[in-house]
Homo-oligomer: A and B are copies of this chain.
Amino acid sequence: MSSNPGGGTRLDPWFGAYARRTHGLRVSETRALFSVASRPEVVSLAGGMPFLDALPMDLIAKVTADLLATEGTVALQYGNGQGHPTLRGQISQVMAEESIQAHPDDVVVTTGSQQALDLVTRVFVDPGDVVLVEAPSYVGALSVFKSYEAWIEHVPMDESGLIPEALAEAVKRLSRAGRRIKFLYTCPTYHNPAGVTLPVERRVEVLDICQRAGILLVEDNPYGLLGFDGRITPAIRSLHAEGVVYLGSFSKTLAPGYRTGWVTAPHAVREKLVLASEASILCPSHASQLSIAAYLENCDWLGQIGVYRQVYRERCDAMLSALAEFLPECSWTKPAGGFYTWVSVPEGVNTKTMLPRATTALVAYVSGTAFYADGQGERQMRLSFCYPTPERIREGVRRLGGVLTKELELVALFGPHGPGPDVTGPAADVTGPAPDVA
């Protein structure tokens, strides 16, 4: 037998056989951070992991055991590609909290809302098609769009989210250039990573711009119910059923380990999504779906979301106070909900090259460059307040303040372009391969 069957390199005999799309795949910055964040001595302000200690775990264990003991042969069997009707009905009720009126038939259950994003992109995007995204945008969405060889176009935001005038300008410019814009991807509520929220007036404007241009609006809303004051901004989907594909998730309001999210779409689009999902995974997990259905049925899920809100409000407060105390040279957004704040550092500091030094100082964050497809974000970073306790958040921000102070000293000594990152020592693995979105 040939020792080099693919005609490729010695390191990878199949190198020559990969599809075109595969050559663009890169290890993401956030994946490298997983290993760092898991070290107990590091305060991770990097990940988006919900604080599951707040869940009534004994009750969940009991409800799940009852489900398996009484309906195990259903819960562990194959299901249909669209998702279990009981859960889809409950999802309609969850969305009603955000003023969405959607029939359970319009809901497709997915393996986390990440799969929903994958399916929407698969169904709509040919290589070279344009996807409009906020600047910055969710790193996992950028990965999907890149994997389908989309052209990613960032649209500027401000403290109130996506700027309608900038969107209109981008649409005009790209249309004039003959580009096919497939959809706008937006996270309007407690934005990841920016932490800002699009006001209702802007939602109307943004939707109107998309409608006039014949552009689908993809609304990603995993944090919508996690507003600190308990008020809920109506989803864009509540304004228009036919023009919006809505992505929801149980990952932040319940738990991500079930990998259960959903997409609500206009009828014909929904049918395409189901077919694409069947080809991709046959059907979503019945075990997860029916466990969640039993939880929603037997537990006070809205009360639990209230518990989460309190936890995250307290942690956000801790973070904002610590930022004021330890990073006075920076500016940051003031989230009204969700998991993240977006911090801008002084000119001359580069958050990507600073990251190894931060992890050496036992604090982790995600560099702003992860959230752009075009190399922006070197002066920003995302800080998460969802997982560590308020005390740990304060300690993490204190460490970050120390790192930044030294960074500013270096900038003062060498100027903004020297002496470059120190990638030796224990933090070297954090930088890893090039990020897929920078």
Q: Considering the complex, which residues of chain A in the window 255-313 have a beta carbon less than 8 Å from any beta carbon of chain B?
A: 255-259, 266-269, 272, 275-276, 278-288, 290-291
In this assembly, does A80 line the interface, its C-beta being within 8 Å of a C-beta of chain B? yes
In the assembled complex, A412 has its CB within 8 A of some CB on chain B = no
Residues of B within 8 A of A20 (CB): 126
With both beta carbons as reference points, the residue of chain B lying nearest to A145 in the complex is identified as B279
| Bitwise interface map of A from 53 to 65 toward B, beta carbon under 8 Å scored 1, else 0 | 1010110111011
User: Whole-angstrom distance between the alpha carbons of A147 and B72 in the complex?
Assistant: 33
Q: How many copies does the complex hold?
A: 2
Contact in complex: B143, A17 (CB < 8 Å)? no
Contact in complex: B5, A243 (CB < 8 Å)? yes
The verdict on A259 contacting B279 (CB below 8 Å), with A17-B182, A111-B111 known, is no
- Whether A94 sits at the interface, judged by CB under 8 Å, is no
Output the least CB separation between A7 and chain B (Å): 6
The 8 A CB mask of A62-75 against B (1 = contact, 0 = none) is: 10111111001101
Flag if A282 contacts B140 (CB, 8 Å): yes
Q: In the bound complex, what is the Cα–Cα distance between A276 and B240 (angstroms)?
A: 33
> Is the CB–CB distance between A118 and B279 below 8 Å?
yes
A114 and B284 alpha carbons, distance in the complex (Å): 11
Number of interface residues of A (CB under 8 A): 105
Question: If the complex has contacts A2-B214, A211-B1, A285-B111, are A268 and B124 also in contact, measured as CB distance less than 8 A?
Answer: no
Does more than half of chain A's interface fall in helix, strand or loop, or is it mixed? Answer: helix
Residues on B with beta carbons closer than 8 Å to the beta carbon of A52: 72-73, 76-77
Option from B126, B215, B276 in Cβ contact (under 8 Å) with A5: B215
| Bound: A112/B80 CA distance, A | 14
Residue of B nearest to A287 (CB): B257
Given contacts A19-B126, A53-B73, A57-B72, contact A214 B287 (CB under 8 A): no
Identity of the chain B residue whose Cβ is nearest the Cβ of A20 in the assembled complex: B126
Asked whether A111 lies within 8 Å of B281 as measured between CB atoms, the reply is yes
Contact between B275 and A81, CB atoms less than 8 A apart: no
Q: Which residues of chain B are within 8 angstroms of A58 by Cβ–Cβ distance?
A: 69
Contact of B69 with A57 in the complex, beta carbons under 8 Å: yes
Give which listed residue, B27, B64, B75, B282, contacts A114 with CB less than 8 A: B282
Within the complex, what minimum Cβ distance (angstroms) separates A211 from chain B? 4
The smallest beta-carbon distance between A281 and chain B, in angstroms, is: 5
Give the distance in Å from the alpha carbon of A213 to the alpha carbon of B6 in the complex: 8
With A140-B279, A255-B287 given, can you name 11 additional A-B contacts, CB distance below 8 Å? A1-B243, A17-B182, A18-B272, A19-B123, A28-B278, A64-B65, A118-B279, A140-B282, A147-B279, A257-B286, A259-B283
- What 9 pairs across the A-B complex have the smallest Cβ distances? A12-B268, A76-B255, A76-B257, A65-B65, A61-B68, A257-B286, A57-B72, A1-B211, A5-B214
Residues on A facing B (Cβ under 8 Å): 1-2, 5-7, 11-15, 17-22, 25-28, 31, 34, 47, 49-50, 52-53, 55, 57-58, 60-62, 64-69, 72-73, 75-81, 111-112, 114-115, 118, 122-126, 129, 140, 143-144, 146-147, 182-183, 207-208, 210-216, 240, 242-243, 251, 255-259, 266-269, 272, 275-276, 278-288, 290-291, 436
